[in-house]
Amino acid sequence: MNDFSRRYFIKRLAQAGAITATSSLWLPAIASTKSAAHVVVIGGGFGGSVCAKYIKLFDSSIKVTLIEPSKNFITCPLSNTVLAGINKIDFITHSYDQLAAKYGINIINSVADDIDPISQKVILPDGKKLQYDHLVVSPGIDFRKQIEGYDSKTMPHAWKAGPQTLLLRKQLNAMKNGGVFIIAPPVKPFRAPPAPYERASLVAHYFSKKNIKAKILIVDPSDSFSKQELFMSAWKKLYPGMIEWIKDSPVKRVNNRAMEIVTTSGKTYKGDVINIIPPQQAGLILQRAGLAEQNGWCRVNQKTFESNKQKNIHIIGDASIAGDMPKTGHAANSQAKICAAAIVSNLNGSKMPEPSYSSSIYSLLNPKYAISLAAVYRLINGRISEVSGGDSPLKAKKKIRLKEAKYAAGWYKSITADMFF
């Protein structure tokens, strides 16, 4: 993709709400169902809330219940800007009120305790059972307990936005001059693959702005990472000598009192603030229901997102194995609309539209400098495969990076509006 095509592609994604709010451009209208069915959605993030909304948009006669324990959703996208003091946490906090008031979605503020796939019921902690015709499970990620001695109160992960974000922010704010901040990503796959490197960048911005002389170490078990050339080139320009990427093995154990991490290779790293991002798997409800594979993630029919293990249960977002698609908010949004179309088509006995999928991932390195990765996917031989896209140009002028920062702001505004309004 040449420079002009690349910029045009990014611009079109941003202007179209990253193919979110204008979904009618790529999903044709679906006729109303002949009988009122009940769809239950577990999880109100980028996948679940959008799927619930679009089922109602495609067919308002379908009863939709969204099970979500929180009354507000705090987004992981832009949570790194909270760490850097660019935004307050209120900026990334959104209410579910409109989904109920505008679309008639029944919202239950509770966790889903279990799933009975035989009788097609979701079981709540109080013993109440919800009958469903189709179930959508979009619980995001949970952590695997593989790091000896790990305590998220001492070494916060901040990989689920909210209190952990504020805790890490507090620790960074108290960082001493000449200190060391360590970020330790997990083995792939994990949620938001470029986010650890964006985090390093924005924390470096924060340190620079506050005139704090500090070192940022990224202790990484991966041989490479998303947008690596773009990040490393920018670090040399924006934060020379501050950010060091260290290829090492995964973290094996931590010493909370000494503020040390030890990798499986036996190397020890000491920091003043340590951000451990633990190994991840599909949300706990999917593990409990037996819908996950041994690797912790869930196989699905990649056209309809129906589980390979249970009929009428659909799994979208971070928890699913979705071909070439990354585990990001935009990917979950795209999958949610396709899943909604599949469910409504099934309930109508009509043919599902041929799907296309999209994903765009913006990474801020400071408020006026962003890079991105955008892609379009299609179903090829039953697998979601990337058919076009690419990264930001490696050698771009400052005005291009500034435009991408503006596109990133537009993307966030559009995708959150698509979720909640």
pLDDT in tens, 186-243: 999 999 999 999 999 999 999 999 999 999 999 999 999 999 999 999 999 999 999 9
Strands 106-108, 63-67: parallel, antiparallel or unpaired by DSSP? parallel
The 10 Å Cβ neighbour count of residue 259 is 17
Q: Where are the alpha helices (DSSP H) in 18-161?
A: 48-58, 79-83, 97-103
The three-state DSSP-derived secondary structure of 148-209 is: ECCCCCCCCCCCCCCHHHHHHHHHHHCCCCCCEEEEECCCCCCCCCCHHHHHHHHHHHHHHH
In our burial notation (b when 16+ CB lie closer than 10 A, e otherwise), range 133-169 reads bbbbbbbbbbbeeebeebebebbbbbbbbbebbbbbb
Question: Side by side, which strands form the sheet with 215-220?
Answer: 243-247, 215-220, 180-184, 273-276
pLDDT digits (tens, 9 = 90+) for 85-105: 999 999 999 999 999 999 999
How much is the pLDDT for 145? 85
Tokens of 175: 């960082």
Tokens of 68: 């979500």
pLDDT digits (tens, 9 = 90+) for 289-335: 999 999 999 999 999 999 999 999 999 999 999 999 999 999 999 99
Confidence of residue 117 (pLDDT cuts 50, 70, 90): very high
Q: What percent of the chain has pLDDT above 90?
A: 91
Could you tell me the domains of the chain? Answer: 19-142+280-355 (3.50.50.60), 145-276 (3.50.50.60)
How much is the pLDDT for 272? 98
Phi, psi of 407 (to 5 degrees): -60, -40
- Which has more pLDDT, 129 or 10? 129
What's the N-to-C CA distance of the chain in angstroms?
A: 34
Which residues have C-beta within 8 Å of that of residue 249, sequence separation ≥ 6?
A: 221, 263, 264, 265
pLDDT at 21 > cutoff 60: no
pLDDT at 71 > cutoff 50: yes
- Which has more pLDDT, 20 or 194? 194
What is the Cα Rg of the chain in Å? 21
How much is the pLDDT for 30? 52
How much is the pLDDT for 8? 37
How much is the pLDDT for 243? 98
What one-character DSSP code corresponds to residue 392?
P
pLDDT at 246 > cutoff 60: yes
Q: For all residues of the chain together, what is the average pLDDT?
A: 93
pTM comes to 0.93
* Distance separating alpha carbons of residues 41 and 26, to the nearest angstrom: 23
- Look at the chain and count its residues: 421
* Distance separating alpha carbons of residues 240 and 238, to the nearest angstrom: 6
